[in-house]
Amino acid sequence: MTQARRHETTATTGNGYTMAAVGIAAMLAGLALLGLKMAVGLAGLLAVVALFVGGALVLGGLYMLQPNEAAILTLFGQYVGTDRREGLRWANPFYKHRKLSLRARNLNAPTLKVNDKRGNPVEIGAVVVWRVRDSAQALFDVDDFERYVGVQAEAAIRHMASMYAYDDGEDLAYGENTLRGGVEAVSVALREELQDRFDAAGVEVLDAKISHLAYSPEIAQVML
């Protein structure tokens, strides 16, 4: 049974500067009641406590977001929504905030030893540029989205390399792309395969290029 994917929704949040002013004003009002000795009797003391507690709760809902950063909000383990608006923000003080970078990231995949279409061992490496597209999927649909990206990138590179021959030869159809001669076509194929694999984690592939390509040392001299 396939698990339904969770998708990002926009959280209802407020302007942090306004709410900070409200929280500070409430606490100052409590201090003023005490200072002016207006907190007379039980009712007065309860009013002071209410002002302090209310102000503290309001201030407790403040958080800061940098450009290209999101806050994923949950309430007692339940996903509430995602806030992508930068600056000082405010949400229900009982919400738990988890910040997540939405900036582009580089993955320098390690050089892998794989067999090409002919079965010859080759060394291949790639550089992948990616970013989080859907914060809810990234955090809740996979266990560790950064590790997921690394593992799936390696699997995609291995599979893609096995679909092409290293270089031209008489056994290939006319105009057939190779790892060495069809760099652009191979890069497009790699990006498409990566995107298919990354979709489950809400990750977008921005670019992918082969960074290293060579025959494995054991056959390099023979092939050259």
* Calpha distance 156→23 (Å, rounded): 52
The pLDDT value recorded for residue 5 is 75
- Report pLDDT for 133: 96
What pLDDT is attached to residue 22? 94
Q: What are 137-170's pLDDT values in tens digits?
A: 999 999 999 999 999 999 999 999 888 888 776 6
Tens-place pLDDT, residues 44-98: 678 878 888 999 999 999 999 999 999 999 999 999 999 999 999 999 999 999 9
Residue 159's SS3 state is: helix
Please say if the pLDDT value at position 3 is more than 80: no
Averaged pLDDT, 38-45: 64
pLDDT confidence of residue 220: 58
H or E segment to which residue 53 belongs = helix 41-60
DSSP state of 10: B
* Predicted TM-score (pTM) of this structure: 0.82
d(CA 164, CA 172) in angstroms, rounded, equals 10
pLDDT at 1 over 50: no
Nearest-angstrom CA–CA distance, 101 and 149:
15
User: Residue 38's pLDDT band (boundaries 50, 70, 90)?
Assistant: low
Predicted local confidence at residue 40, as pLDDT:
57
Cβ pair 86, 185 in contact under 8 A: no
For the chain, the average pLDDT equals 88
